[in-house]
Amino acid sequence: MAEDLVLDSAIRDWVLIPLSLVMVLIGILRHFVTKLMRSSQPPDIKILKENQVVMRARNLRTCANLIPAKSFRSRRVYFSNEENGLLYVPKGQAQNPQAQMLTDPNMATDMMKKNLSMIIPQTLTFAWVNFFFSGFVAAKIPFPLTQRFRSMLQNGIDLSTVDVSYVSSRSWYFLNLFGLRGLFSLILGEENALDDTQRMMQMGGFGFDPTKSNVTDIMACPIPSEEKLIT
Amino acid sequence: MVGFAEEGELNRLESQVDNGGGGAWEYLSLVRKLKVRRSEKVLKHGLSILNDPKSRSKLGPDEWTLYEQVAIAAMDCHKLDIAKDCVQTLSKRFPGSTRIGKLEGMWLEAKGSWAEAEKAYSRLLEDNPLDPIIHKRRVAVAKAQGNVSGAIELLNKYLEVFMADHDAWRELAEIYVSLQMYKQSAFCYEELILGQPSVPLYHIAYAEVLYTLGGLENLNTAKKYYASTIELSGGKNTRALFGICLCSTAISQLTKGRNREERESTDLQSLAATALLKEYKQKAPAKLPSLSSVLKSIKLPF
């Protein structure tokens, strides 16, 4: 069980290096394709205005004690009165951003475009790797690992006797797929289209409604007393 | 805003370029990055690059940025023919571009053909109605024609959408002051203070508007803002020191009969007066007598 496998140097020359190279090239290609497909949609006046209102309200909230109390009160009414306040959203009318996303076809196509540019090359390369390089060991990592890593490193070879530090070709593909982000940010700059983490962050922010939290904040904001004003 | 270190770098580069030491492109890039207005120098050094085909082609795609920069500098220096050449080169290279459209509008402005410029800008606005720069240019056109009420109207309309734009608020505040509409101006300055609370210039401008409005309450508030200006500027603002003295005098005149708060206000007042005297002694000893006579005339103890 412990005997060393001898890896043919042809495997290195014809599998390991080409596979990594292809992954990098595909990543770069994908970057440019997404860049091409990204539609520079004109900013929507409603969203733009909303953002500006929120920004101004936030300023008001943080610097409330820097202006006279009278001015602050009039602004607070302007933002949050119940008739036509800019930030006032009647109860129940507040649109769920997820529902909003479904109704907005533009957003949906945009998402689809992004996803397509992710999925298509990924399935193609996966099929390609599966077809040509499946089922053999392509590399060995220089340190021992526990059995838990077997499914990660030896995807595609069902041999329980091989030492875990050997990496199968399909696993090498996966390692490249997830591990090249650092390289891409070096090659393509920080703002590359391939950064999945950022997209995740955006997804995480979906349930959050900035307007709502601002209304409550402003309402809760104490009226600054005259003493608080910088004297 | 330009930081101290950046300005030092800029001045160093400028003198280097002026003395023929090279680095013109670096200087121009820095000017662009810091958004400073040194049009004459930009025009001179930018043209020297543009007129030399070898150094121009060395820039690659940045060549067009330089054309834009030189065009604007030329308009600023009223070298209309140079500006026209630059704009024409650009519009030949990028037909139908909004950015070049703006330049053309600005050239028309510089020429003084307001109606045509206005037409050009409204045509651009049809394509992208949310371009803040075009809106601002239209305000500038109205203001340059002396149509101040039109400028106010346009600015208000602009601020309805872009209500977090400090520069627009500041412009509006200054226009209102020029029309002596102090209440409206005070509102704008409040907005500016909210947006950028650490800029002493807004505090002092607000204080001055309040002082001009008059009334006991406004004067008291004005004094506070003069004080905050001094605090924010590290005690260096002479104008604010004078402001405190004037405010205190005005307040004491208004509250002559009532004997409230008088104590505190004289404290601040005499502090400001001593600070003023000290500063004058250090920097302009020749003007010291006139300062003391001024302070005496507003009945300040010192």
**Cross-chain Cβ contact B161/A229 below 8 Å:** no
**Cross-chain Cβ contact A52/B161 below 8 Å:** yes
Q: Note whether residue A207 is domain-resident.
A: yes
Which 3-state string (H, E, C) describes A93-153?
CCCCHHHHHHHCHHHHHHHHHHHHHHHHHHHHHHHHHHHHHCCCEEEECCCCCCHHHHHHH
Residue A229 pLDDT:
44
Handedness of CA B34, B36, B39, B44 (dihedral sign): negative
Mutant choice from A67, A78, A225 vs B, greatest count of B C-beta within 10 A? A67
Q: Note whether residue A172 is domain-resident.
A: yes
Question: Does residue A9 carry a pLDDT above 60?
Answer: yes
Mutant choice from B128, B194, B210 vs A, greatest count of A C-beta within 10 A? B194
Same fold across B96-162 and B184-302: yes
CATH of domain B184-302: 1.25.40
Question: Does residue A69 carry a pLDDT above 80?
Answer: yes
Residue B10 pLDDT:
87
Distance CA A162, CA A7 (A): 13
Q: Note whether residue A132 is domain-resident.
A: yes
% of chain A with per-residue pLDDT over 90: 0
Q: Note whether residue A227 is domain-resident.
A: no
Which pLDDT band holds residue A2 (cuts at 50, 70, 90)?
low
Which chain B residues are Cβ-neighbours of A49 within 8 angstroms? 160-161, 163
Higher per-residue pLDDT: A22 or A218:
A22
Query: Which residue in the set B129, B164, B194 is minimally distant from A63, CB to CB?
Result: B194
Which pLDDT band holds residue B259 (cuts at 50, 70, 90)?
low
For residue B254, give the amino acid letter. Answer: L
Region B59-80: what's the mean pLDDT?
Answer: 89
Mutant choice from A56, A65, A75, A86 vs B, greatest count of B C-beta within 10 A? A56
Tell me the count of A-B CB pairs closer than 8 A. Answer: 50
Under DSSP, is residue A166 helix (H, G, I), strand (E, B) or coil?
strand
Question: Does residue A196 carry a pLDDT above 70?
Answer: no
Query: Which residue in the set B165, B224, B231 is minimally distant from A229, CB to CB?
Result: B224
Chain A: closest CA distance from residue B230 (Å): 11
Region B37-61: what's the mean pLDDT?
Answer: 86
Number of structural domains chain A divides into? 1
Burial class (CB in 10 A: 0-12, 13-18, 19+), A135: exposed
Q: Is B51 in contact with B85 (CB distance < 8 Å)? A: no
Q: Which CATH class is domain B96-162?
A: mainly alpha
Say if B231 is an interface residue toward chain A (CB within 8 Å). yes
Question: Does residue A46 carry a pLDDT above 70?
Answer: yes
Say if B133 is an interface residue toward chain A (CB within 8 Å). no
CA distances from B103 to B13, B100, B118 (A): 27, 5, 13
CA distances from B104 to A224, B28, B40, B97, B128 (A): 49, 22, 20, 11, 16
Half-sphere exposure of A72 (CA within 13 A, CB side): 24
**Cross-chain Cβ contact A59/B164 below 8 Å:** yes
**Cross-chain Cβ contact B190/A71 below 8 Å:** yes
Per-residue pLDDT tens digits for A106-150 = 767 777 777 777 788 888 888 988 888 877 788 888 888 888 888
DSSP A68: -
Per-residue pLDDT tens digits for B99-148 = 899 999 999 989 888 999 999 999 988 888 888 899 999 999 999 998 89
Distance CA B235, CA A119 (A): 62
**Cross-chain Cβ contact A48/B161 below 8 Å:** yes
Question: Does residue A1 carry a pLDDT above 70?
Answer: no
Which chain B residues are Cβ-neighbours of A71 within 8 angstroms? 187, 190
CA distances from B42 to B28, B74, B169 (A): 6, 9, 29
The whole-chain average pLDDT of chain A stands at 74
Instruction: Please give the residue of chain A at the shortest CA–CA distance from B244.
Output: A231
Which pLDDT band holds residue B25 (cuts at 50, 70, 90)?
confident
Say if B150 is an interface residue toward chain A (CB within 8 Å). no
Higher per-residue pLDDT: B4 or B115:
B115
Say if B248 is an interface residue toward chain A (CB within 8 Å). no
Residue A204 pLDDT:
43
Per-residue pLDDT tens digits for B152-182 = 999 999 998 888 888 999 999 999 999 999 9
Under DSSP, is residue B55 helix (H, G, I), strand (E, B) or coil?
helix
DSSP H or E stretch at residue A168: strand A166-168
Q: Which domain holds residue A65?
A: 21-220
Which pLDDT band holds residue A41 (cuts at 50, 70, 90)?
low
Which pLDDT band holds residue A70 (cuts at 50, 70, 90)?
confident
Per-residue pLDDT tens digits for B90-100 = 999 888 888 89
Q: Is B107 in contact with B87 (CB distance < 8 Å)? A: yes
Residue A101 pLDDT:
60
Per-residue pLDDT tens digits for B270-299 = 888 888 888 888 888 888 888 888 888 776
Query: Which residue in the set B130, B191, B228 is minimally distant from A48, CB to CB?
Result: B130
Distance CA A182, CA A118 (A): 18
**Cross-chain Cβ contact A231/B130 below 8 Å:** no
Question: Does residue A159 carry a pLDDT above 50?
Answer: yes
CA nearest A163: which of A175, A182, A183, A149?
Answer: A149
- Residues 6+ positions from A198 with CB-CB distance below 8 Å: none
Break chain B into its structural domains and give their ranges.
Answer: 1-95, 96-162, 184-302
Instruction: Please give the residue of chain A at the shortest CA–CA distance from B268.
Output: A231
Q: Note whether residue A229 is domain-resident.
A: no
Q: Is A174 in contact with A18 (CB distance < 8 Å)? A: no
**Cross-chain Cβ contact A60/B224 below 8 Å:** no
Residue A195 pLDDT:
52
Say if B195 is an interface residue toward chain A (CB within 8 Å). yes
Q: Note whether residue A16 is domain-resident.
A: no
Q: What angle do CA B140, B142, B146 make, to 5 degrees?
A: 110
Say if B194 is an interface residue toward chain A (CB within 8 Å). yes
Which chain A residues are Cβ-neighbours of B158 within 8 angstroms? none
Distance CA A16, CA B107 (A): 60
Half-sphere exposure of B23 (CA within 13 A, CB side): 16
Which chain A residues are Cβ-neighbours of B165 within 8 angstroms? 52
Q: Strands A166-168 and A137-140: what pairing? A: antiparallel
Region A204-215: what's the mean pLDDT?
Answer: 48
Residue A230 pLDDT:
41
Under DSSP, is residue B240 helix (H, G, I), strand (E, B) or coil?
helix
**Cross-chain Cβ contact A71/B187 below 8 Å:** yes
Residue A93 pLDDT:
59
% of chain B with per-residue pLDDT over 90: 28
**Cross-chain Cβ contact B228/A230 below 8 Å:** yes
DSSP B285: G
**Cross-chain Cβ contact A42/B130 below 8 Å:** yes
Distance CA B185, CA A203 (A): 42
Distance CA A75, CA B157 (A): 18
Which chain B residues are Cβ-neighbours of A230 within 8 angstroms? 224, 227-228, 231
Q: Note whether residue A141 is domain-resident.
A: yes
Chain A: closest CA distance from residue B162 (Å): 6
Q: Is A34 in contact with B144 (CB distance < 8 Å)? A: no
Query: Which residue in the set B193, B221, B224 is minimally distant from A63, CB to CB?
Result: B193
Across B35-109, the runs of DSSP E, i.e. the strands, are none
